[in-house]
């Protein structure tokens, strides 16, 4: 088999101009759905994670136990399982879009809670004591003294985790959401050609490469040091 022949077959299957021309609007629409899902998941997931971490600061033993169990559960379960349980398991099934949003937001909330909590715990006890000794209340101490320090260490891992989980929007294709992968799969079935999948991959790169670069930029600005601490 010569190289030219292999390349032609590859090009026909993955870079088929006719197929790409016909289906790119579907992929673009899918990109819109993916972006919409990603924004909703990141906002609600991080907000819920922060809320849980702040609740944990109150130090109510029973509540903390519940938070830890729930967080561990959602960190341990594969997101697909959560998605399927919500989509098929709930008595009044939410749409595929809402199911994908809720399941991934739950997973992100669980990871974000742990990241925020680790950040809050990393702030030395002396910071709390200094603030409280001047009469600042618990909430003021958190907001004015502890969180500004905690957020610096949470933003890099939080960015990474948000990107990883947002990529999971591809799972929406399982429950008939026409996000990028869903749109690409249907186009693939309809055209008997894999070119839409490559276009879909391109759409993911267009969406996530800037986010990854932004994440690295934030990490460099906020991280403790830009270099490893070699001796």
How many residues touch another protein (CB under 8 A)? Answer: 18
Q: Which of 130, 164, 205, 214 binds another protein (CB under 8 A)?
A: 130
Q: If DSSP states are collapsed to H, E and C, what string results for the chain?
A: CCHHHHHHHHHHHHCCHHHHHHHHHHHHHHHHHHHHHHHHHHHHHHHHHHHHHHHHHCCCHHHHHHHHHHHHHHHHCCHHHHHHHHHHHCCCCCCHHHHHHHHHHHHHHHHHHHHHHHHHHHCCHHHHHHHHHCCCCHHHHHHHHHHHHHHHHHHHHHHHHHHHHHHHHHHHHHHCCCCHHHHHHHHHHHHCCCHHHHHHHHHHHHHHHHHHHHHHHHHHHHCCCCCCCCC
Nearer to another protein, 97 or 116 (CB): 116
Residue 144 binding another protein, by CB under 8 A: yes
Q: Which of 51, 55, 136, 201 binds another protein (CB under 8 A)?
A: 136
Residue 148 binding another protein, by CB under 8 A: yes
Q: Of the listed pieces 80-88, 97-105, 143-151, 196-204, which binds another protein according to CB under 8 A?
A: 143-151
Q: Of the listed pieces 70-78, 135-143, 159-167, 208-216, which binds another protein according to CB under 8 A?
A: 135-143
Interface ranges with another protein (CB under 8 A): 124, 126-127, 129-137, 140, 144-145, 148-149, 152
């Amino acid at each position: 088999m010569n190289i030219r022949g292999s390349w032609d077959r590859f090009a026909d299957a993955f870079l088929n101009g006719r197929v790409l021309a016909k289906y790119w609007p579907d992929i673009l629409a899918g990109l819109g759905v993916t972006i919409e899902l990603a924004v909703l998941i990141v906002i609600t997931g991080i907000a819920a994670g922060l809320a849980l971490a702040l609740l944990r600061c109150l130090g109510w033993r029973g509540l903390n136990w519940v938070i830890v169990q729930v967080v561990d559960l959602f960190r341990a379960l594969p997101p697909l399982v959560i998605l399927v349980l919500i989509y098929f398991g709930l008595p009044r099934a939410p749409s595929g879009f809402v199911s994908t949003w809720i399941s991934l937001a739950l997973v992100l909330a669980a990871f974000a809670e742990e990241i925020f909590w680790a950040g809050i715990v990393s702030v030395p006890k002396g910071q709390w004591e200094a603030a409280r000794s001047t009469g600042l209340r618990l909430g003021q101490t958190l907001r004015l003294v502890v969180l500004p320090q905690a957020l610096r260490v949470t933003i890099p891992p939080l960015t990474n985790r948000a990107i990883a989980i947002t990529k999971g929007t591809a799972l929406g294709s399982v429950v008939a959401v026409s996000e990028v992968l869903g749109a690409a799969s249907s186009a693939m079935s309809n055209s008997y050609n894999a070119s839409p999948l490559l276009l879909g991959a391109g759409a993911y790169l267009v969406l996530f490469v800037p986010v990854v670069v932004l994440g690295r930029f934030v990490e460099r600005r906020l991280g403790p040091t830009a270099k490893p601490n070699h001796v």
